[in-house]
Structure 1
């Protein structure tokens, strides 16, 4: 009998549903939320309302396009956290109701664990153990992955996530939200060594990104005093220099982790893993260091239900189910 799982993702501002059958992703339906663009960031209450509007149509499309009737489902999976509490509540509430109505088991999934398990959707797949640099708007972590459901955080940010650093510095440049992808776009045309920004050096394998935001703020303030059109005249070089600095901080710790743990199986995951500069630098370092590197397809880097489905598949095989008393958690560790 096939294991068919419907998975729901609603941790932030993407409403997504996917169906997985015996470990194979059949679809990955995503509804984006454009309402946040004019505010320069995700507004939690608006995100919750948008999830309520999008969730049923997205789930309906996922089931219909999978060719699997709801009576053939084996379980309902959902993102328990981390994420925005209101957004998580929408997904969790629907999953519990749907599972109860169909008499199906529930599977709770850790959003960050799912990002890592996105590597097992398509080939090539990493070999255990591997180190995964998980980078997003809310998290920056170095994770030692020992097995599908056995992971250990060996380094993480002590303040801001690298994705937040990208978006906040982009906002200082007057770029619309989300600004991270735009920094990546303009950086391709700029000189990464045009301007120097400080590189934080935390002890061990931890990160810190709050300093670069402050450095960029004061840098722009002083340069604009001298030349009011400084940003417009130097946008590509500024973006390239910011991106160069952030990637340098990420790669320093990743190289250190690889050396300390004697592991050459290296992966990246999360929304920022779609950044072309990071991908290129990872490839360059891999050639010099003899790493085997793994990067998910773009659609599996950002928040999506396919990664939730893949994590749920492995939890189903181990019989790790939740009861109807389960509640979302805005902050969760692996």
Structure 2
């Protein structure tokens, strides 16, 4: 981590290093080089100021963000849809540390599929946002160009909905969607070199992009139905919930959870599934859907509370591959080997 990033964060927060109660860092999963950078910076500051330090699971932090951001936080057990550039999972959150993975991707993540499809379609990056969010913008009707919208609708009438992958399975698959995007685009531009920088008309970009987004989100809806049925009707699935308990909320988190089309479809699905008493659907603020420091800090605060204010041992090994289902056991193992790190009195500011 660059010192300028730390200095800027302290200046914007109007804090001095000695004002910090404790330090949290991402212990995993992720790329080792990135994890190492953050852990070394946090460890050095914690040691210098004799403050507690805690290692946090990246996806756990995404899942627990609504416990900080919502005026009425979701109650456990809740179902967590984790959709990002690196992961696509449906996870049952039984507690702050107990998670059961119910569905994950067999190949690409949904965020990666959005990004790669945007590049295949040569959709230009719009100001301030990346390729996946630019595809979302192109998939929506143009706000002012009615002639363009009419031509897009005409082309859409010729493009059949893309076929789903991993049908009826408790698993995601998005690789096949990219293949369908490529074939549909080349059908409209037979001589097109898809790796080129120019050549795809905006009408094709918008129409094929919309078909892709519809298919990707439809798959999320289908897997959500399968998982909810599994928890409500399957004998094995019911055993995952405490006796008499039901899923109390659906939490969508990760970068793709900022997609407004996905948000709308998830709300409609829950309303259609339980008319009159839909399962609440919770989304963190858009700014906190993508990777951010606030979610790591919050997960660190919760961990400090569970550990009575005691931090982790210094120099814990990083975990580039770390299943959410191992968090509870790893935390217990870590507590057994704790060093004498000063307890923290942490002040929380709800976002």
Taking structure 2 as the reference length, the TM-score comes to 0.74
Match of 1:74 among 14, 21, 28: 21
Q: Kindly report which structure 2 residues correspond to 1:163-174, keeping only aligned pairs within 5 A, or say none.
A: 163-174=111-122
Query: Equivalent residue of 1:121, what SS?
Result: helix
Aligned to 1:111: 58
Larger radius of gyration, structure 1 or 2? 2
Aligned to 2:176: 211
Structure 2 distance, partners of 1:227, 1:148, is 50
**Matching of residue 199 in structure 1 with residue 164 in structure 2:** yes
- Are the counterparts in 1 of residues 185 and 208 from structure 2 also a CA contact under 8 Å? no
**78-87 vs 291-300, which deviates more?**
78-87
Match of 1:323 among 313, 321, 329: 313
- Are the counterparts in 2 of residues 195 and 237 from structure 1 also a CA contact under 8 Å? no
Structure 2 distance, partners of 1:80, 1:175, is 35
Match of 2:284 among 281, 284, 296: 296
Q: Deviations over 1:71-124 (max 9, x none)?
A: 243321001122222222211111111111112221000111101111112223
- Pair 1:231–1:196, CA change in 2 (3 A): farther
- Quote the offset at 1:283 in angstroms: 1.7
Match of 1:100 among 40, 47, 55: 47
- Are the counterparts in 2 of residues 274 and 301 from structure 1 also a CA contact under 8 Å? yes
- Quote the offset at 1:299 in angstroms: 0.9
- Are the counterparts in 1 of residues 123 and 205 from structure 2 also a CA contact under 8 Å? no
Q: Deviations over 1:112-158 (max 9, x none)?
A: 11011111122231111110110000100101011122212111111
Q: Kindly report which structure 2 residues correspond to 1:23-34, keeping only aligned pairs within 5 A, or say none.
A: none
Aligned to 2:97: 149
- Are the counterparts in 2 of residues 195 and 238 from structure 1 also a CA contact under 8 Å? no
Aligned to 1:160: 108
- Quote the offset at 1:195 in angstroms: 3.9
- Pair 1:198–1:231, CA change in 2 (3 A): farther
Q: Aligned pairs, how many?
A: 281
- Quote the offset at 1:264 in angstroms: 5.0
Match of 1:258 among 228, 239, 249: 228
Aligned CA RMSD, in angstroms, stands at 2.2
Q: Deviations over 1:143-179 (max 9, x none)?
A: 1011122212111111110000101111110124631
**Matching of residue 185 in structure 1 with residue 137 in structure 2:** yes
Q: Kindly report which structure 2 residues correspond to 1:128-139, keeping only aligned pairs within 5 A, or say none.
A: 128-139=76-87
- Pair 1:148–1:210, CA change in 2 (3 A): same
Query: Equivalent residue of 2:162, what SS?
Result: coil
Aligned to 1:333: 323
Aligned to 1:31: none
**290-299 vs 209-218, which deviates more?**
209-218
Structure 1 distance, partners of 2:319, 2:248, is 33
- Are the counterparts in 1 of residues 23 and 51 from structure 2 also a CA contact under 8 Å? yes
Structure 2 distance, partners of 1:318, 1:227, is 57
Q: Which runs of 5+ in 1 are unaligned?
A: 1-51
Structure 2 distance, partners of 1:315, 1:230, is 50
- Are the counterparts in 2 of residues 173 and 231 from structure 1 also a CA contact under 8 Å? no
Structure 2 distance, partners of 1:145, 1:251, is 19
- Quote the offset at 1:294 in angstroms: 0.2
Aligned to 1:39: none
**Matching of residue 267 in structure 1 with residue 251 in structure 2:** yes
Q: Which runs of 5+ in 2 are unaligned?
A: 142-151, 194-198, 233-246, 325-351
- Pair 1:74–1:179, CA change in 2 (3 A): same
